Chain A
Amino acid sequence: MVLFSSGASSSSGGAATGTLESIVSEVTSSTSNRTLSNLLKTHVTSSTSNRTLSNLLKTHVKSEIGETILASTLGGGQDPLTVLDAYANTLGFLYIMTARLITAGSAPVPLTVIDNFCRTFDPDAARLAGDRITILAKAIINLTENQNQLHAAILPLLNLITRFPPSLSYMTTIHPHFVHACVKTQHYTAALPVLNVPISEIDISLTPLTTEDVLKYHYVGSLALLGLKRFEEAAEFLEVVVSAPAQHHPAAIQLEALKKLVLIQLILHGATQPLPRYIHASLYRYLKSTAYVSLSKAFPRTSALNEVLTKEQRVFETDCNLGLVRQVLDHAPRWSIRKLTATYVTLSLEEIGKAILIQDVATVKNIVLSMIEKGEIRASLDTSGTVTFLEDEVTYTPADVDRLLRAAQAQGSVLSEADRVMGRSKDFLSKAIRDKDGHHGPSIAEEELFGAPGLRDWDEGGF
């Protein structure tokens, strides 16, 4: 039986009696159960292409009444989702399933049915209905949260996110929902197959993406990476959020991202780092008045850091950053030791302990050993408790250089292609022409007022 056929033959889309159009027209004028049966029966005899079917469903069934009809059962109470095949009838299945998920009072859709759909749908057909896929992703979150089993959303969403777009480098509306489920349930590793693939394609014709989706995905993604102690990758994700263009005022999430980025930079680099020049200048001004500036100024002096923590604990707690701040404090002695390596060749464990304000020699030895293990310093210990700091080891070979060159070449090709695509983009060209004709973007006065001082302060590490 073929329902909502995904066959290649296309209907002319005419309005002859018995065609899909006439039936859709008929069903939108009635809400009886019988009409959904008619709709399905007609499709058994009607051969309709996915694109035609998608257009018709969008046009005729998007209204509230259309959703109600799709959310109804067949004559005799039969569930249409038990009649349809998720692969062969992807579009029909998707529309009916999502209508049921968003229409109050309709028959519930079991999670097993959703899971099966996400594993088996036809991606080509589904790509014609990105808006319904968005509804499905949201509904999966709502359904599993209501059932107090949000973790059950992860596998269906992972299947959606890997099968729906042409590749994982496409950003979709599913992304923020997926990482939200992973982070809220502490299944951080489940997010890695997605987080590990950099986003290089933004196609709003695929799903109705918004700036908020992009910001949320990268912000929540950074939380997953932070949970796994992948600080460098988390910093990259936060930088995407912080440096996203903002028209007038930056979004609140961007300031929150900047606060976290400051903390991660202290862990990773022992100081704040210069950020891209295109970051919204207001962000620096907002940051200047926060406890994060005091913390970065105190780093890595343990006593000063503890003072800031005591004074500002409430702020860090409210910002949900207290855990990260404590990790910053844990890293402070390590950065103090790294500074010592620039001055001294040998030091005893006691001397190192005095410098980092830790009396217990065993604890100092543990820190030094841990730093050697993680490659943060090159040093050697001996039986007398003397630490000798060594020169950095050159660990690359000509083969490594070749490999890096090859990777850089591949990355260069991707960037060239992205540049070519951007150059052909209608939106980009019209914006470029508008900018050329009139004034858009910040004036020199605005840059002088906001941009330069903020950036200069940041570069100096003094805000």
Chain B
Amino acid sequence: MDTPDRPLTPPTTENDRPVLGPFQKSLSKLSQQNSIPDLVRVAEEEDLASDAKDQEDANRFFIVAPLVLGYLILDELAPARYALTRLPINLLGNPLSVSLLNLLAATWHRNHPHVYQRAQELMDLVSASSFFSQPLATLIRTLTEQFTQEFRERTFALVSRAYTSISLSALKSYLGDLPPEHILSVAQQKGWKYDAAAQILSPVVHAPRTIDKSFAPSTLDTFRLVTTTTAALEGAL
């Protein structure tokens, strides 16, 4: 990642205050509980409730950064984008905004290797001692790790579905910089076959699901449903 030209510390407010204390605690708690939809809801409500002055204030990152990462974890990319584009110009150029935008763009384009790289860059940015808030840094790290894990699992599921065979190196690029033995261990746990000589993995082939033709007896509920519907249709004629 390029070294940011701008200082990591955003413009301070007159009091340089951690005014979002209870809100911040609430987000931390929700992220630890992995209640991401709730975290997103709380952050959206807080963003709506902030007044015009707060909208321009660097403390808005306490709302926007978790909100963007929350949406990324849920793979809801359009609202993540708007959470960032709503930022005023003075905050959009901040290295934190730029880093979040880069991560979002890589995820949007499903540029898998870049996603893991951008996530690492974000982690490095907030881990710097000059970053303006340690509590926010902790929250961002937690959520970024959750996102990376979620994205990796989603990608693994997609590769399982989309490939009949894939090389170890290609799979590695999809799953980020994981040690090959770790990837092989996970793949084998999922029942994949591995040809060590050719370094080719073969996901389990799932037979397409078809409608149940076993003629299992209908339940009483189904019978009641069908008779009620038929009676209603006849009544309407």
Chain A interface residues toward B at CB < 8 A: 147-149, 151-152, 154-155, 185-190, 227-229, 366, 368-370, 372-373, 379-383, 388, 390-391, 393-398, 402, 405-406, 408-409, 412, 416
Contacts and interface: CB of A to CB of B under 8 A. Distances in A.
B45 to A, nearest CB: 8
B166 A383 contact: yes
A366 B211 contact: no
Given A227-B78, A380-B163, A402-B225, A151 B232 contact: no
A318 to B, nearest CB: 23
11 contacts: A152-B51, A155-B45, A187-B47, A368-B162, A369-B162, A373-B158, A381-B163, A383-B165, A394-B211, A405-B229, A409-B232
A248 to B, nearest CB: 36
Contacts of B209: 393-395
Given A151-B55, A383-B170, A409-B228, 4 more contacts: A149-B51, A152-B48, A382-B163, A390-B208
A228 B78 contact: yes
A149 B56 CA distance: 11
A188 B86 CA distance: 11
Given A382-B164, A393-B208, A188 B79 contact: yes
A409 B229 contact: yes
Contacts of B79: 188-189, 228
Given A151-B48, A405-B225, A409-B228, A369 B164 contact: no
B161 to A, nearest CB: 7
Contacts of A380: 162-164
A370 B110 contact: yes
Nearest to B228: A409
Given A369-B158, A382-B165, A383-B167, A148 B52 contact: yes
Closest 3 pairs (CB-CB, A-B): A149-B52, A393-B208, A186-B82
Given A149-B51, A372-B158, A397 B211 contact: yes
- Specify which of B48, B158, B166 lies most central, judged by the most chain A CB atoms within 10 Å of its CB: B48
A396 B211 contact: yes
A405 B85 CA distance: 43
A373 B222 CA distance: 33
A75 B44 CA distance: 42
Nearest to A398: B212
Contacts of A229: 78
A154 B236 CA distance: 43
B104 to A, nearest CB: 14
Interface in B210-237: 210-212, 216, 218, 221-222, 225-226, 228-229, 232, 236
Contacts of A402: 221-222, 225
A397 B212 contact: yes
A20 B85 CA distance: 53
Nearest to A386: B164
A154 B226 contact: no
A147 B52 contact: yes
A190 B226 contact: no
B210 to A, nearest CB: 5
Contacts of B49: 152, 155
B8 interface: no
Nearest to A112: B51
A398 B82 CA distance: 40
Contacts of A393: 208-209
Given A148-B52, A152-B48, A383-B166, A406 B225 contact: yes
A228 B78 CA distance: 5
B121 to A, nearest CB: 22
- Specify which of B52, B86, B167, B236 lies most central, judged by the most chain A CB atoms within 10 Å of its CB: B52
B51 A188 contact: no
Contact of A227 (B82, B167, B170): B82
Contacts of B200: 383
A391 to B, nearest CB: 7
B68 to A, nearest CB: 13
Given A189-B44, A382-B165, A149 B55 contact: yes
A190 B48 contact: yes
A397 B216 CA distance: 12
A186 B218 CA distance: 49
Given A393-B208, A394-B209, A397-B212, A154 B225 contact: no
A361 to B, nearest CB: 13
B110 A372 contact: no
B103 to A, nearest CB: 18
B202 to A, nearest CB: 9
B55 A391 contact: no
B85 A186 contact: yes
A370 B108 CA distance: 11
Nearest to B219: A402
A346 to B, nearest CB: 11
A416 B235 CA distance: 11
B48 A155 contact: yes
B24 to A, nearest CB: 20
Contact of A187 (B48, B232, B236): B48
A394 B228 contact: no
A369 B157 CA distance: 12
B55 to A, nearest CB: 7
A208 B110 CA distance: 48
Nearest to A395: B209
A217 B158 CA distance: 38
A420 to B, nearest CB: 12
